[in-house]
Amino acid sequence: MPAPNDLLSVFETVIGLEVHAQLLTKSKMYCGCSAAYADAEPNTHVCPVCLGLPGALPVLNRAAIEYCLLTGLALDAEIPPACKLDRKNYVYPDLPKGYQISQYDLPLCVGGWLRFSSGGEERRAGITRVHVEEDTGRLVHRVDPGGAEESLVDLNRSGVPLMEIVGEPDLRSPEEARDYLIALRQVLRYIGASTGSMEDGAFRCDANVSVRRIGDPEFGAKVEIKNMNSFRAVERALRFEQERQQAALLAGETVAQETRGWIEDRGITVPQRTKEQAHDYRYFPEPDLPPLAVDESMVAGVRARLPELPATRRSRIAADYGLGPNEAALLTEERAVADVFEAAVGPPGDAASARVAANWIMNDLVGLQRQRGLPPETLPLDADQLRDLLAALAAGELTARAAKEVLPQITRGERPRDAARRLNLLSLDDDAAVRAAVDETVAAFPAAVADYRGGKTAAIGRLIGETIKRTGGRARPETVRAVMEDVLRKDNG
Ligand SMILES: [Zn+2]
């Protein structure tokens, strides 16, 4: 079999993703139960509606509809004036009603596209539709103390608002699919529609993938992959499937149209069921909920809540503050982090101070954030504290080294200057003290001094470093350099 890279000139991979995202509403989709079920005892967030008891009537959650519209607007989708809800019928133990209330032929949002960057290039992929539905309950499989296997049903998740975002088959590689997902998750987090957490199951992805010979007008047989629980799993599963289908085509075999499950620990996909056996969901309009009229004022109200989106903000911050694309991408990964950066730096102007702020966020603050186990959107400093720190650095009150030392104190609310004074870390303004440290260093490192005087001027770096060390990091490098050059010149003369 030829190497995978050679196969790229023979075969084309076609991928489309279907994403299910839980919406960040307080209550469930069709009842008043709390949607925050994560830490709850099983079957405590339930009522007749989400238990599917006969005669219970659903009431539509307006916040969920608005989040879905907000997502559609963020993806440049069209919002048709009329839509409806439909019953999707199937039997499974985690679905007490025997049907899910979803949307079939008239979804809330139609069309649109997602901007994302992949392999250093800006890309866009089409969106087919975005619609609302409800989550199912959960099955817990376990072995009881007597050794018997049992499956338990927890209906806390039953009826939690869910949004399905169906993408066009516009993606051409597993890497691109991963980058698309990361960008989509970022959009949902920016607009506050979902936590986007794959670990918690709040952001789930099924992938449709087929392989065809380049130039073939027809798509290959479509395989649907399920059960991928991380961005990495999506990429790995798609790569496995791409290679499996290429190998089958090379061997003259046909690829079966089927659903396959990703087995994480074995790194393979296995058949789950063929499309012939797939459910016929027998969709029909939900009789207990009237069709939904989405008027212009509702759309306008939702549109007013739309923030600047990640792709736009990334390019604007790069251009306005003179930052590279990677720096801008890191700073805008989380909306709250980008907010801290912009609020601390202020309006664009001085590119040098913007870079200092960017470096502090990307290195020291994110480092401390990880060390303290804070979530990615929470920096250990707020914008005011960071602004204070940057001002003290710019005024020369603190050296960068001293600032790193007082960082923990600043995160506890102490002003940078106060913390530095208390810990005796304020910059040395006293020329005599710097001069004394320089003299000590010159006396202690005769070889480096001789090197410098012999023409190896780079030796001054070591002497400056040693002097700064002698002042406990309080002397400013530029002051030390000036005094050191002066001393070396004079003593030589
Ligand atoms: Zn309920």
- CA–centroid distance, 162 to ligand 1, in Å, is 15
pLDDT of 2: 55
Q: Which two tokens stand for residue 41?
A: 């005892």
Band of pLDDT at residue 191, cut at 50, 70 and 90:
very high
- CA–centroid distance, 156 to ligand 1, in Å, is 8
Band of pLDDT at residue 207, cut at 50, 70 and 90:
very high
- CA–centroid distance, 39 to ligand 1, in Å, is 17
- CA–centroid distance, 295 to ligand 1, in Å, is 28
- CA–centroid distance, 27 to ligand 1, in Å, is 8
Higher-confidence residue of 162 and 395: namely 162
Question: What is the secondary structure of 204-217 as a DSSP string?
Answer: EEEEEEEEEETT-S
- CA–centroid distance, 439 to ligand 1, in Å, is 77
Band of pLDDT at residue 349, cut at 50, 70 and 90:
confident
- CA–centroid distance, 307 to ligand 1, in Å, is 32
pLDDT of 493: 47
- CA–centroid distance, 33 to ligand 1, in Å, is 4
- CA–centroid distance, 152 to ligand 1, in Å, is 19
276, 308, 320, 326 from 357: Cα distances, Å = 58, 21, 14, 15
- CA–centroid distance, 343 to ligand 1, in Å, is 42
pLDDT of 331: 96
- CA–centroid distance, 190 to ligand 1, in Å, is 28
- CA–centroid distance, 473 to ligand 1, in Å, is 61
For the ranges 195-199, 289-293, 426-430, which has the lowest average pLDDT? Answer: 426-430
- CA–centroid distance, 196 to ligand 1, in Å, is 23
Query: Percent of the chain at pLDDT above 90?
Result: 74
- CA–centroid distance, 35 to ligand 1, in Å, is 9
- CA–centroid distance, 31 to ligand 1, in Å, is 5
- CA–centroid distance, 186 to ligand 1, in Å, is 29
Q: How much helix, strand and coil, in percent to the nearest 5, is found in the chain?
A: 40, 20, 40
- CA–centroid distance, 86 to ligand 1, in Å, is 19
**Mean per-residue pLDDT, 459-488:** 87
pLDDT of 5: 63
pLDDT of 144: 86
- CA–centroid distance, 36 to ligand 1, in Å, is 12
Phi, psi (5° rounding) for residue 158?
Answer: -60, 120
If you average pLDDT over every residue of the chain, what do you get? 92
DSSP-assigned beta bridge partners for residue 20 = 164, 204
pLDDT of 488: 86
Query: Percent of the chain at pLDDT above 70?
Result: 97
265, 379, 446, 476, 477 from 459: Cα distances, Å = 55, 39, 11, 18, 15
- CA–centroid distance, 34 to ligand 1, in Å, is 8
- CA–centroid distance, 303 to ligand 1, in Å, is 30
- CA–centroid distance, 294 to ligand 1, in Å, is 25
- CA–centroid distance, 44 to ligand 1, in Å, is 10
Is the pLDDT assigned to residue 457 strictly greater than 90? Answer: no
Is the pLDDT assigned to residue 480 strictly greater than 50? Answer: yes
Own/partner long-range contacts of 315-320 (Cβ < 8 Å, ≥24 apart)? 317/341, 317/342, 320/348
For the ranges 69-78, 86-95, 425-434, which has the lowest average pLDDT? Answer: 425-434
The model's pLDDT over 247-262, given as tens digits with 9 standing for 90+, comes to 999 999 999 999 999 9
Distance from the first to the final alpha carbon of the chain: 76
Cα–Cα nearest to 228, from 171, 192, 178: 178
Is the pLDDT assigned to residue 278 strictly greater than 60? Answer: no
pLDDT of 275: 47
Record the pTM: 0.87
Question: What is the secondary structure of 359-374 as a DSSP string?
Answer: HIIIIIIHHHHHHTT-
